[in-house]
């Protein structure tokens, strides 16, 4: 009998791709705000309601739910949404497990590479480095703390936190946003363009979650980022080269981005590198460790 995996964040690109990867080996269920498929179950985070039948014979939860960091300006209300969508959703799962007296084999939570701080440094961060102290770091700290509760309250045998870099996909996310202006000859690096952009191919982030499910020795935090580092300027140039479009505009000045995006602009203008050696040491192999090959795979489909 297949083990049951419950995935939150059903509408996200990672959840959709994970279904294809895991469906042959696991019974996959999704939590969603509005059910449209037989394997979906409804929940409402604000009102703390959930379809408890999703928890029958449940072995694992992959917690991907979380409002999009870069979708809107960070008003005080939006900041609360960014935290609540991650933390309150985890608490609802935790409370339901406790109520039903269930214990998971694993609770695997998305997390962010911004844990280390939104800043551009020459440090290559590892999982033992301390967190930053800006807003995004605080979001990730609270996110991971909510995940750790599952083990601390003996509701999961282990907790794995996947500190995720920018996920490259041809259908959604950062790459789609970058490629549109480049196609129309309006592409340009952001600010100085020297900020690092930790990245990972969609196939690889899905493989990380599969690896975490299948490897019971995995526990704690892991950086999910390609071993090859790049800057915003280099990534922009490589995209342009692959789709054969020129980059002739000057860099977009920082002050313009700050006028448009407010505090969110910091997440676009700053970034440091992170190491994925920890997960590689236990046997994980990247399908797309090379940026150019990753972009060609995504943009030449």
Mean pLDDT throughout 73-100? 97
Residue 148: the pLDDT is: 98
Q: How many CB atoms lie within 10 A of CB 7?
A: 27
Pairing mode, if any, of strands 166-168 and 199-201?
parallel
pLDDT of residue 102: 97
pLDDT at residue 153, as a whole number: 97
Q: Over the chain, what HEC string results?
A: CCEEEEECCCCCHHHHHHHHHHCCCEEEEEEECCCCCCCEEEEECCCCEECHHHHCCEEEEEECCCCCCCCCCCCHHHHHHHHHHHHHHHHHHHHHHHHHCCCECEEEEEEEHHHHCCCCCCCEECCCCCCCCCHHHHHHHHHHHHHHHHHHCCCECCEEEEEECEEECCCCHHHHHHHHHHHCCCCCCECCCCCECCEEEHHHHHHHHHHHHHCCCCCEEEEECCCCCCEHHHHHHHHHHHCCCCCCCCCECHHHHHHHHHHHHHHHHCCCEECCHHHHHCCCCCCCCCHHHHHHHHHCC
Task: Check whether 301 has a pLDDT greater than 80.
Answer: no
CA 215 to chain centre: 20
**All structural domains of the chain:** 3-165+201-225 (3.40.50.720)
Higher pLDDT, 176 or 92: 92
Contacts with 229 (C-beta within 8 Å, 6 or more apart), sequence order: 124, 196, 198, 273
In the predicted structure, residue 291 carries a pLDDT above the cut 70: yes
Give 131-134's long-range contacts (Cβ < 8 A, gap of 24+): 134/266
Q: Answer whether residue 300 shows pLDDT above 90.
A: no
Q: How confident is residue 107, by pLDDT bands cut at 50, 70 and 90?
A: very high
pLDDT at residue 248 tops 90: no
Write the pLDDT tens digit of every residue in 126-169.
Answer: 999 999 999 999 999 999 999 999 999 999 999 999 999 999 99
**Residue 68 pLDDT exceeds 70:** yes
What pLDDT score was predicted for residue 95? Answer: 98
Which pLDDT score, from 0 to 100, does residue 1 have?
84
pTM of the model: 0.95
List, for residues 55-65, the tens digit of each pLDDT value. 999 999 999 99
**Per-residue pLDDT for 82 more than 90?**
yes
Residue 255 has pLDDT above 90, yes or no: no
Q: Which of these ranges, 57-71, 197-211, 255-269, has the smallest mean pLDDT?
A: 255-269
In this predicted structure, the answer to whether residue 258 has a pLDDT above a threshold of 70 is yes
Mean predicted lDDT score pLDDT of the chain: 95
pLDDT of residue 171 exceeding 90, the answer is no
CA torsion angle 94 126 226 137 (round to 10):
50
Assess whether pLDDT exceeds 70 at residue 285: yes
């Amino acid at each position: 009998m297949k083990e049951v995996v419950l995935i939150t964040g059903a509408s996200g690109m990672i959840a959709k791709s994970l279904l294809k990867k895991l469906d042959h080996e696991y019974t996959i269920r999704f939590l969603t705000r509005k059910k449209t498929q037989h394997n979906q179950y409804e929940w409402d985070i604000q009102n703390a309601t959930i379809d408890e039948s999703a928890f029958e014979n449940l072995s694992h939860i992959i917690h991907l739910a979380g409002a999009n960091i870069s979708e809107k300006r960070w008003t005080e209300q939006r900041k609360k949404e960014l935290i609540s969508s991650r933390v309150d959703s985890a608490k609802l799962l935790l409370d339901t497990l406790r109520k039903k007296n269930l214990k998971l084999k694993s609770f695997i939570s998305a997390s962010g590479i911004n844990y280390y701080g939104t800043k551009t440094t020459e440090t290559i961060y590892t999982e033992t480095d301390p967190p930053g102290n800006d807003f995004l770091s605080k979001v990730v700290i609270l996110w991971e703390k909510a995940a750790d509760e599952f083990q601390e309250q003996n509701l999961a045998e282990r907790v794995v936190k996947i500190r995720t870099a920018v996920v490259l996909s041809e259908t959604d996310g950062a790459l789609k946003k970058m490629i549109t202006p480049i196609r129309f000859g309006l592409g340009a690096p952001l600010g100085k363009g020297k900020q690092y952009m930790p990245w990972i191919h969609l196939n690889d982030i899905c493989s990380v979650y599969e690896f975490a499910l299948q490897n019971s020795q995995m526990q704690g935090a892991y950086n999910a980022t390609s071993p090859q580092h790049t800057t915003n300027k280099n990534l922009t140039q490589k995209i342009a080269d692959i789709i054969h479009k020129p980059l002739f505009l000057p860099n977009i000045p920082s002050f313009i981005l700050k006028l448009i995006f407010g505090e969110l602009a910091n997440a676009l203008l700053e970034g440091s590198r992170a190491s994925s050696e920890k997960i590689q040491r236990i046997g994980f192999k990247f399908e797309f460790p090379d940026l150019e090959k990753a972009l060609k795979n995504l943009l030449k489909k």
